[in-house]
């Protein structure tokens, strides 16, 4: 691998043992991937979470993250990070320990984890949607992010450049400001592979989730190019779409020519090449996606309704509150509305927390059921407007699930019954 003078200096240990270990990993990682060099990054996002068992075992964050973040059995002292770095989601919302089944030990561990991260310079955004709360990379900016829904969003919608990284690579990138130059950092890898002719009007979160879920199933980890989109999607619709493609497949980038960042035309999206495959999305494909997302649902008695995967924007919170106003959720049911911590503060200033709480629900931040393995005790049947949660939670948590519109999910929370249907 070709290294610059500053990279060689780090590798020689001139900036300390911890940065030396970090760049050693990046060189090995990049070499295994076939990268010829590293690239500078000043935007890194990952999950440096000390769960209860790990915190008990290691006793210090330096020891824990030396192993899980740098693959080092030797305890290294972590210096300040070099790159602008963000903590994405965590495993709990400290405001709702009782609801989440957490105790005082979990709370102390969580707060200590945050204090340690702040000490080394990591921003506590605590969300899978950092682009909603100030971390908005510009087109062409090289990043090193975890979180599949965030990766596909910034690659596609914003035109930033990142691969879907892991714990060790993001920790190393934070400490060095470097990441291997390969994959979606390169022009070639960002070109389209599959053409998707969209034959239906796609409008609303549920419809964009269905489209994304179908495309992910069909293309896997390739780069789809959508043709036929007639209505410009909102940010939240694109957020839902990307998360769905990354869940059913492994999509890290897509093109909607004229809307997403990298291409104005279909031809430009493919770089002048012929598509490897051509697909269509019509009524049959829409029905297939809906049936796939609802195949686990048998029991129509709903006891848990969840909004916020990816985390809700303030517009989504407002919509949920408009639908909830003056209503109460059914006894024995739970309603969680999940947001970034910064948006929770904004929602409280607007009084949305009072609307949700008056209805019997909670406005939560920092985490989600899938990442934190959190769920109300005794949950059997979930209703959600998130294709990602409908995809993952049944197998992860052993429950049934229903996928539908925001309005259908609010209705399920109020009545305790699933009455959604594909119209």
How far is 78 from 333, CA to CA, in rounded Å?
44
From residue 115, alpha-carbon distances to 87, 119, 238, 318 in Å are 12, 6, 34, 32
Whether residue 403 sits in one domain with residue 331: yes
CA 212, CA 115: separation in Å to the nearest integer? Answer: 38
298 in a domain, yes or no?
A: no
Asked if residue 283 and residue 205 are part of one domain, the reply reads yes
* Residue 198 and residue 180 share a domain: no
Does residue 357 share a domain with residue 261? no
CB 308 within 8 A of CB 89: no
Per-residue pLDDT of the chain (423 residues; tens, 9 = 90+): 999 999 999 999 999 999 999 999 999 999 999 999 999 999 999 999 998 888 899 989 999 999 999 999 999 999 999 999 999 999 999 999 999 999 999 999 999 999 999 999 999 999 999 999 999 999 999 999 999 999 999 999 999 999 999 999 999 999 999 999 999 999 999 999 999 999 999 999 999 999 999 999 999 999 999 999 999 999 999 999 999 999 999 999 999 999 999 999 999 999 999 999 999 999 999 999 999 999 998 999 999 999 999 999 999 999 999 999 999 999 999 999 999 999 999 999 999 999 999 999 999 999 998 888 899 999 999 999 999 999 999 999 999 999 999 999 999 999 999 999 999
Burial of 205 (0-12, 13-18, 19+ CB in 10 A): buried
162 lies in the same domain as 79: yes
The answer to whether position 423 is within a domain reads no
Number of C-alpha atoms within 13 angstroms, CB side, residue 39?
20
| Three-state DSSP state, 198 | strand
The residue among 185, 215, 249 that closes a domain is 185
Task: Residue 11: give the domain boundaries.
Answer: 5-185
Task: List Cα–Cα distances, 166 to 4, 45, 149, 283, in angstroms.
Answer: 24, 10, 14, 37
Say whether both 168 and 210 belong to one domain. no
Q: Are residues 173 and 243 in the same domain?
A: no
Residue 181 lies in a domain: yes
Q: Do residues 140 and 27 both lie within one domain?
A: yes
212 lies in some domain: yes
Q: Is residue 422 part of a domain?
A: no
Q: Is residue 52 part of a domain?
A: yes
Based on the fold, state whether residues 47 and 178 are members of the same structural domain.
yes
Let me know if residue 98 belongs to a domain. yes
Same domain? For 405 and 336 the reply is yes
d(CA 128, CA 9): 34
Of the residues 227, 261, 293, the one at which a domain ends: 293
Same domain, 176 and 227: no
The structural domain count of the chain equals: 3
Domain-embedded: residue 310: yes
CATH code (residue 385): 3.30.499.10
């Amino acid at each position: 691998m070709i290294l610059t003078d500053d990279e060689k200096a780090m590798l020689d240990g001139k900036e300390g043992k911890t940065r030396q270990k970090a760049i050693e990993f990046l060189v090995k990682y990049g070499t295994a991937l076939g990268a010829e060099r590293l690239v500078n990054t000043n935007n890194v996002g990952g999950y440096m979470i000390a769960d209860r068992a790990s915190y008990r075992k290691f006793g210090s964050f330096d020891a824990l993250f030396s192993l899980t973040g740098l693959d080092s059995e030797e305890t290294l002292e972590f210096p300040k990070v070099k790159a602008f770095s963000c903590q994405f989601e965590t495993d709990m919302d400290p405001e709702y320990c009782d609801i989440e089944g957490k105790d005082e030990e979990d709370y102390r561990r969580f707060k200590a984890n945050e204090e340690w991260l702040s000490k080394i310079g990591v921003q506590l955004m605590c969300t899978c949607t950092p682009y909603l709360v100030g971390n908005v990379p510009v087109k062409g900016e090289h990043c090193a992010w975890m979180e599949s829904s965030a990766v596909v969003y910034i690659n596609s919608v914003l035109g930033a450049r990142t691969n879907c990284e892991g714990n060790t690579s993001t920790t190393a990138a934070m400490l060095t400001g470097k990441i291997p130059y390969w994959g979606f950092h390169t022009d070639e890898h960002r070109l389209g592979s599959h053409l998707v002719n969209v034959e239906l009007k796609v409008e609303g979160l549920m419809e964009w989730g269905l489209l994304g879920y179908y495309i992910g199933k069909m293309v896997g980890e390739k780069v789809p190019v959508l043709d036929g989109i007639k209505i410009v999607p909102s940010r939240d619709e694109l957020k839902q779409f990307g998360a769905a493609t990354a869940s059913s497949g492994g999509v890290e980038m897509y093109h909607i020519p004229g809307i997403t960042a990298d291409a104005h035309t279909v031809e430009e999206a493919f770089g002048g090449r012929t598509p490897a495959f051509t697909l269509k999305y019509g009524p049959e494909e829409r029905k297939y996606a809906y049936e796939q997302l609802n195949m686990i649902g048998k029991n129509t008695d709903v006891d848990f309704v969840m909004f916020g995967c990816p985390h809700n924007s303030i517009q989504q919170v407002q919509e949920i509150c408009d639908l909830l106003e003056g209503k109460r959720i059914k006894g024995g049911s739970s309603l969680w509305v999940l947001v970034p911590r910064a948006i929770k503060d904004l929602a409280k200033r607007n009084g949305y927390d009072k609307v949700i709480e008056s209805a019997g629900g909670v406005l939560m931040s920092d985490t989600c059921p899938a990442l934190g393995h959190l769920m109300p005790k005794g949950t059997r049947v979930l209703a959600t407007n998130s294709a990602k949660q409908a995809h993952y939670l049944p197998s992860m948590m052993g429950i049934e699930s229903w996928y539908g519109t925001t309005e259908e999910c609010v209705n399920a929370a109020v009545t305790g019954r699933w009455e959604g249907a594909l119209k």
